[in-house]
Amino acid sequence: MTRPVVRGAVGTLFLWVMSATPGLAQDGALVIHAHGSYFAPLSSLSDTTDDLAPSVAYGGGVGVQLGGRVAIRGDLTIVATRYRGPTATVNPDGIGRLYVFGDLQVGWPGTSNLVPYVLVGAGAVRNAPRDPTQPSTWSPAGRGGVGVNYLSGLGAVFVEVHAVASRFASLGFSKLQLDLAVHTGLAFAIPF
């Protein structure tokens, strides 16, 4: 497909989702979301200048809205980042990182279409250097953050900010890695 066709399809879907009757404020709904993200490391991989470069990412997930306040959701985010530093030798294609989380989201719906929320989650991070001589590793991870939904129709536009803690155990490093993530995207609700 060409770019104008993709943009038109995304715009049409966005307008359709935003023009239907409210769905995310329902007592129960299946929620599907997609997001674009910005990831920035808050910690270094070593005491010297080794770190991961800030990067953009994309992802999505599914969840269940359990009333107007609580949701349980699963989320997957794919990040391609680059290593910066003198210690390790890394393929110029960088490192693929996969974030897999289960979250509890608690919001405060009111009379407006803006619904702020907090979230806490647990999951795992896969670090996969794009180099066949370097193995991929999985590490447990946790996250917490805040966000806001703008409800309209059967969906919402959302922005959330959260901190992710995991152990970066790859490329000869084994250190607690803290990342700041900013997600923005669309959520679509199917009431039940």
Tell me the CATH number at 106.
2.40.160.20
Residue 55, domain extent = 3-191
The whole-model pTM stands at: 0.81
**Which pLDDT score is estimated for 23?**
43
* DSSP states along 37-94: EEEEESS-SSSSS-EE--EEEEEEEEEEEESSSEEEEEEEEEEEE-EESSSS---TT-
Q: Are 22 and 151 in contact (CB under 8 A)?
A: yes
Total number of domains in the chain: 1
What is the 8-class DSSP label of residue 109? -
Give the distance, in angstroms, between the CA of residue 95 and the centroid of all CA atoms in the same chain. 17
Give the model's pLDDT for residue 92.
65
Q: Are strands 70-81 and 95-107 parallel, antiparallel or unpaired?
A: antiparallel
- The pLDDT assigned to 185 comes to 96
Please report, as a single letter, which amino acid is at residue 83.
Y
pLDDT the model gives residue 109: 75
pLDDT of residue 4: 53
Task: Give me the amino acid identity at 134.
Answer: Q
pLDDT of 105 reads: 96
Tens place of pLDDT for every residue, the chain, 192 residues?
455 544 544 444 444 444 333 444 456 899 999 999 999 998 888 877 888 889 999 999 999 999 778 999 999 999 999 888 887 777 667 889 999 999 999 998 777 889 999 999 999 999 998 888 888 999 999 999 999 999 887 789 999 999 999 998 887 888 888 999 999 999 998 988
- Could you tell me how many residues make up the chain? 192
C-alpha closest to that of 103 among 142, 57, 69, 140: 142
User: What confidence score (pLDDT) does residue 3 get?
Assistant: 53
C-alpha span between 21 and 1 (Å, rounded): 31
Query: In this predicted structure, what is the pLDDT of residue 155?
Result: 84
Look at residue 26 in the predicted model and tell me its pLDDT: 54
The per-residue pLDDT for 6 is: 45
- CA dist 71 and 23 (Å) reads 13
Q: Are 121 and 164 in contact (CB under 8 A)?
A: no
Residue appearing with tokens 């066709």: 5
